[in-house]
Amino acid sequence: MELSDLYSQRILEIAGRLGDLPPLADADARAKKVSRVCGSTIEVAVKLENGKVSAYSHEVNACALGQTSASVMAEHILGATPDELRQLRNEMVAMLKDNGQPPSGERWVDLRYLEPVRAYRPRHTSTLLVFEAVVDCLDQIDKDGQDHAAELAVSPARH
C-alpha cells in the first residue's frame, strides 16, 4: 500500500463534511493538540450537562486524516458520555497501534475507514488529535469537579 492509498475517496468525502462550528463561549473545558510530525492542529471546546456532551466546537487545521477524525467526532459527539468518549479514544489507539478492531458503536462506524492508517505510524498522531483533545477536556472537567467537591468538603458551612 502506498501512502497515497490512505487518502481514499471515502476518507476525502468524510473530511469534506467537516464544517466550521461557532466558538463555544461557555465551554466547560478547552484543549489544543498539535502533531509535531505534520503540524496539524485541532482545538476543541466541550460542555457537559447531565453527564453528556451538550455542546462542542472545534478549530481544525489538519491533514485529511485529522479532518476525517474531526468530522466524525463533530457529527456524533453530542449526547455522548465521557466514558463512551474515553472508550472511543482507547479503541482508536488500539486500532492504529495494536492492530485492534475499529471502534464499536453505530455512531462511530465511519472511523473504520481510518483503519489503513495503522500501517503508517507517522500519521497516527494527526489521526488521533481530536480524540486526545476531547479526552483532555473531559479530564479537565473531572479535575475541576473533584477540586470543587474538595473545596466544599473543607469549607466551613456558612449560615
Band the pLDDT of 148: cuts 50, 70, 90.
very low
Instruction: Please report which confidence band the pLDDT of residue 105 belongs to, taking 50, 70 and 90 as the band edges.
Output: confident
Q: Which of 16, 13, 4, 73 is nearest to 42 (CA)?
A: 73
Segment among 30-39, 75-84, 117-126, 150-159 with least mean pLDDT = 150-159
27 or 155: which leads in pLDDT: 27
Partnered with residue 56 across adjacent β-strands are 46
Question: Model's pTM, two decimal places?
Answer: 0.88
Q: Among 66, 12, 63, which residue's Cα sits nearest to residue 44?
A: 66
Q: Are 130 and 58 in contact (CB under 8 A)?
A: yes
Edge-to-edge strands, sheet with 29-34: 29-34, 41-49, 52-61
Does position 15 have pLDDT exceeding 60, yes or no?
yes
CB burial class (10 A; 0-12, 13-18, 19+) of residue 1? exposed
Q: What is the mean pLDDT of residues 6-27?
A: 91
Residue closest to 70 by CA, chosen among 132, 130, 10:
130
**What pLDDT was estimated at residue 10?**
93
DSSP 8: -
pLDDT at 159: 43
Please check the confidence at residue 146 and state whether its pLDDT lies above 80. Answer: no
Give the separation between CA 96 and CA 125, rounded to whole angstroms.
10
pLDDT at 90: 98
Residue 145 has pLDDT above 90, yes or no: no
Q: List b or e across 28-45, with b for residues whose CB sees 16 or more CB atoms inside 10 angstroms.
A: bbbbebbbeeeebbbbbb
Could you give the domains of the chain?
3-154 (3.90.1010.10)
Torsion of CA 60, 63, 66, 70, to 10 degrees: 40
Amino acid at 107: R
| CB 62, CB 74: distance < 8 Å | no
